[in-house]
Amino acid sequence: MLKSRYTKLGLLAVSGAILIALSMPKDNQQSRNPDSGMAKAQSAATKIKNENNNKPSTYSVANQNKSTPVTTLQTASADLKTYIEFSQHADRSERKKALFGQWDSSTDMLQLQNTILTQKGFAQEMFKGEQAQARLLAIEYLSYLAQNGQRDPIEKAIGQLSERLNQEEWVQGIEHDYVDLLFKYTETLTQEELMGDFEQIVEKSGYSKKTHDLFTTGLSLSETVLLLPDDKMVELRNRLNLIKEQS
């Protein structure tokens, strides 16, 4: 049986408290270095507000790559069945890495995994009753790439999903895919990267008030956030609240 999306039960128990902490209104607590962080948040909030007001819709199924080679589709279908099978084995982690190693040299496979996650209806049409497992496998692959220093693919998918979340009705677990991707992405960041580049991370995520709770949940599941010192947690919360208020 496939593992649940969130298998770290202890992590989930703590993440609820962190989610509340990140989402609660600002209080009188101050971070040790509030000025630079809050200035970045102010700038990011203004930019997000302008983009959300002025940017036309760019997402369209018609824009998706429809030239995936048949051999790539066949390989992906066969590999999905293999993935479902070995997910029941104790050595599933090693088998998964070996599978992803075979995909590494294929740009067509990377594009296909992106399409599975971001093109509305594609996973259902291609994989039928196994579409949920196909989406999970795609998330795992983009996470694998990010863990090995290739963050662009997962950043791209997060941005594309956020665009759909902001424009469409949430169907077929799209919101869960977004949270999972953001969680996996944040796990690859150091605390220094998270705090130093937070406004850029918010921007790349396609953040809006509509996706605020999803964004916060994705962050709160990550050990990168859970293990922040108290003063950094307060600073992060305040910067996020400022972005939300002014976007």
Q: Are residues 79 and 98 in contact, defined by beta-carbon separation less than 8 angstroms?
A: no
Would you say residue 14 lies in a domain? Answer: no
Would you say residue 19 lies in a domain? Answer: no
pLDDT at 60 > cutoff 70: no
Total-model pTM: 0.76
* Alpha helix stretches (DSSP H) within 65-127: 70-86, 92-103, 107-118, 122-127
Would you say residue 129 lies in a domain? Answer: yes
Q: For all residues of the chain together, what is the average pLDDT?
A: 82
Would you say residue 99 lies in a domain? Answer: yes
DSSP 73-90: HHHHHHHHHHHHHHTTST
Q: Tokens 């090693």 identify what position?
A: 94
In this prediction, residues 136-145 reach a mean pLDDT of 97
Residues above pLDDT 70, as percent of the chain: 73
Check residue 46 and give its pLDDT.
57
Q: Which two tokens stand for residue 144?
A: 């694998």
Distances (CA, A) of 233 to 30, 42, 191, 206: 10, 18, 11, 22
| d(C-alpha 29, C-alpha 36), whole Å | 16
Would you say residue 25 lies in a domain? Answer: no
Number of domains in the chain: 1
| d(C-alpha 134, C-alpha 119), whole Å | 13
Q: Which two tokens stand for residue 56?
A: 């036309």
Q: Nearest Cα to 235, choosing from 38, 31, 26, 21?
A: 31
Check residue 87 and give its pLDDT.
85
In this prediction, residues 28-36 reach a mean pLDDT of 47
Q: Are residues 179 and 214 in contact, defined by beta-carbon separation less than 8 angstroms?
A: yes
Would you say residue 102 lies in a domain? Answer: yes
Task: Find the domain containing 127 and state its range.
Answer: 34-52+69-246
Would you say residue 1 lies in a domain? Answer: no
In this prediction, residues 120-133 reach a mean pLDDT of 94
* pLDDT one-digit tens code per residue, 174-189: 999 999 999 999 999 9
Would you say residue 193 lies in a domain? Answer: yes
In this prediction, residues 216-237 reach a mean pLDDT of 96
Check residue 140 and give its pLDDT.
97
Least confident of 42-51, 65-74, 203-212: 42-51
